[in-house]
Chain A
């Protein structure tokens, strides 16, 4: 049913290794197919609404924050750059639950070329009955712990797409951390842990593995809610000539939130774009700056954002065409009858009803 990944190792970076851990994707497939079997011959309602992987509001106090300007220079020493991203989307509703799809992508840059590994899409039928089972099975498979052990409550039905995608993302990150050597691993988001989908222990393990192979994790957040004197941290201090970093020291997260990285504002190219950048706390400060300078010398940067990470996002994002294809697949393979329930917003408010997603 499932295939062993046929990934050829690149001699220089030894990435990804043939002996890559495949138990998670296998479990994903098994669970995916198992969950879909229960949905056979049912009517399902198409849904245009997509799940955004919303960042939870960061419970971090930026009280007495000190800023330190760090100018950067490009370092051209050849360094592997790899990035991971995942996405999830709701593709429909059934009478008992929701149909979701998740997909993940790893991108790595080899000399001047980018390569990709894309996993998925994995389609799940999540119901109130099976959501715990699905989530726990996936957790157990890879992290050897169930959600119940850590939390009192299980993720709600509508949290499931992001949670499953998150699980896949952590797995991909861990895989990269075990396969790339002397490289830069780019994460999408921050290194904030202790929140529901990012337990501290798990994140620490990933970072530990990364350091063991002399890699540095650079986590870029597209959006941040961190503010300094009422302004978003990415909107202040744009007066310097890029590329540069600003280190924000003295940030105090509210427990149980833990910052596993030090927070920086990175403005790497001309233009008014800056991003929050988290760099592993346990990496020496000099190495952090060196890593960013290596990123400048080894990856394309457009609007201050690394191309490798941008590609990872592009490769995992679902297009409308793919959503239609997945709906077609489900309808064909599992004989689901597509129904169109009326949109109550449209029904009640006519042209003033903008649909559920905009409610």
Chain B
């Protein structure tokens, strides 16, 4: 391999057919003269080198009406393999990732090795990972890389971070989440999952239906079944958030509700039944009463609210158990209506903030699938600014990258990117601050299913591709097929 050109932080390298280099590979460029310095570059595109005369060569091989012309070549010096060799020369477009100077890495690209004397070789990923010090005390094996080594990240690189897992349908996003969740739980973390399709409810089971090591740490809470809330447990502002944001209660009505709530609280009658009665008998405008009644029945019909305090303790019990030994609380939103989903999420986020503010919980990792379906507008900003300080570290999982706001991408610390072919989707993801658009567009387009491009702090800003390792977890959330049994 030889350095051909440099423009900005893009380096073009000429590679020959016997050097098997693929997109995503890392190269180490050592200067022939200065042994203390080396450049680390990543191949983001592989093209054929623009060899002069190649068009004539190809035309010559197909002159007979598009069919290959028959004949014999008497080539005693065996030049033909050299012609092939030159024809198949490749031009590698590489992104400069770092400079090694005296065995330490720096992101600088100001230094350039010699074009004629530099030695270019493939940098094995284990060596790079060692140089980048991505391994820590809390390793999580993401999967295998192309050179058969393991890509290991450190759980601490997800701690306090905003993460995005995205890719088109059936490329393995949920699979990666299912890998990360037990790994975090193993290290004692509390994980809350907004499970839109009931995909995570079997995290505690092996593929053949037996209990796995995490079974007792996975707590599945299904709204209106084992996930209920007693009014007595609720803070007024949490309920008001539900009424205003999820049920769109107007301001005047919200003021009346506040008075009703305080009145009930003073008399110790905070029950659903008493709340209904209070609204009925409250002296107020009929329109306000109607507005309050419609929201009251929405709360009642959700089945989430109960007067039995014991029924409403499971969430906190699960969270406190998880706090002690690590655990995943799966909020199964599978059969929950859109309104009820928003009620549940409003309540849960409000409750989590309460618990975190009062230091009853240390921090939680929140996994939110297709969050645009239940997260209200104002929460997006909260998540990247306020909630992070409370200790809610979110991982968004989506196959529609444009449903996540731009500021989330800009502030994302880690992105796990699966295959995308749509230009628009790639454009959206490439706005992330921790990655360059060329890498995203070039590498993500060619990722096979289950291969993930890890970007950001987890890989110390060295984008790496790995095949996400297989899991022994009972698969849920499979697409229901009409023709399944017929085939």
Q: Tell me, rounded to whole Å, the shortest Cβ–Cβ distance linking B112 to chain A.
A: 21
What are the interface flags for A285-329 relative to B under an 8 Å C-beta threshold, 1 for contact and 0 otherwise? Answer: 000000000000000000000000001001101011111111011
In the bound complex, CA of A322 to CA of B77 (Å): 13
A118 and B82 contact, CB distance less than 8 A:
no
With a CB–CB cut-off of 8 A, which chain B residues contact A321? Answer: 51-54, 56-57, 83, 86-87
With a CB–CB cut-off of 8 A, which chain A residues contact B60? Answer: 314-315, 319
Q: Tell me, rounded to whole Å, the shortest Cβ–Cβ distance linking A298 to chain B.
A: 15
Interface residue stretch chosen among B67-75, B232-240, B373-381 = B67-75
| Contact pick for A324, options B51, B56, B75, B77, CB 8 Å | B51
With a CB–CB cut-off of 8 A, which chain A residues contact B52? Answer: 319-321, 324
With both beta carbons as reference points, the residue of chain A lying nearest to B86 in the complex is identified as A325
A119 within 8 A of B: yes
With a CB–CB cut-off of 8 A, which chain B residues contact A116? Answer: 69-72
B64 within 8 A of A: yes
B57 and A319 contact, CB distance less than 8 A:
yes
A7 within 8 A of B: yes
Q: Tell me, rounded to whole Å, the shortest Cβ–Cβ distance linking B55 to chain A.
A: 9
With a CB–CB cut-off of 8 A, which chain B residues contact A152? Answer: none
Query: With A25-B74, A118-B72, A320-B52 in contact, is A325–B79 under 8 Å at CB?
Result: yes
User: For residues 41 through 96 of chain A, which have their beta carbon under 8 Å from a beta carbon of chain B?
Assistant: none
With a CB–CB cut-off of 8 A, which chain B residues contact A3? Answer: 74, 76
A29 and B72 contact, CB distance less than 8 A:
no
With a CB–CB cut-off of 8 A, which chain A residues contact B83? Answer: 321-322, 325
In the bound complex, CA of A25 to CA of B77 (Å): 11
Query: With A314-B63, A322-B83 in contact, is A7–B53 under 8 Å at CB?
Result: no
With both beta carbons as reference points, the residue of chain B lying nearest to A48 in the complex is identified as B52
A324 and B86 contact, CB distance less than 8 A:
yes
B85 within 8 A of A: yes
User: For residues 140 through 168 of chain A, which have their beta carbon under 8 Å from a beta carbon of chain B?
Assistant: none
Among A1, A3, A320, A323, residue most surrounded by chain B Cβ atoms (within 10 Å): A320
A121 and B82 contact, CB distance less than 8 A:
no
A25 and B70 contact, CB distance less than 8 A:
no
With both beta carbons as reference points, the residue of chain A lying nearest to B89 in the complex is identified as A324
B75 and A120 contact, CB distance less than 8 A:
yes
What are the interface flags for A105-149 relative to B under an 8 Å C-beta threshold, 1 for contact and 0 otherwise? Answer: 000000001111111111100000000000000000000000000
Q: Tell me, rounded to whole Å, the shortest Cβ–Cβ distance linking B96 to chain A.
A: 28
Q: Tell me, rounded to whole Å, the shortest Cβ–Cβ distance linking B58 to chain A.
A: 10
B53 and A328 contact, CB distance less than 8 A:
no
In the bound complex, CA of A329 to CA of B63 (Å): 27
Among A25, A325, A326, residue most surrounded by chain B Cβ atoms (within 10 Å): A325
A-B pairs with beta carbons under 8 Å apart, 9 shown: A7-B72, A33-B77, A116-B70, A116-B72, A118-B71, A121-B75, A320-B53, A324-B53, A325-B83
- Besides A25-B76, A320-B52, A321-B86, 19 more A-B contacts (Cβ < 8 Å) are A1-B76, A25-B74, A32-B77, A113-B70, A114-B63, A114-B64, A120-B75, A122-B76, A314-B60, A314-B63, A321-B51, A321-B53, A321-B54, A321-B57, A321-B83, A322-B57, A324-B86, A325-B86, A328-B82
Q: Which 6 A-B pairs have the closest CB atoms?
A: A116-B71, A320-B53, A319-B53, A320-B52, A321-B53, A325-B82
Residue ranges of B at the interface with A (Cβ–Cβ < 8 Å): 51-54, 56-57, 60, 63-64, 69-77, 79, 82-83, 85-87
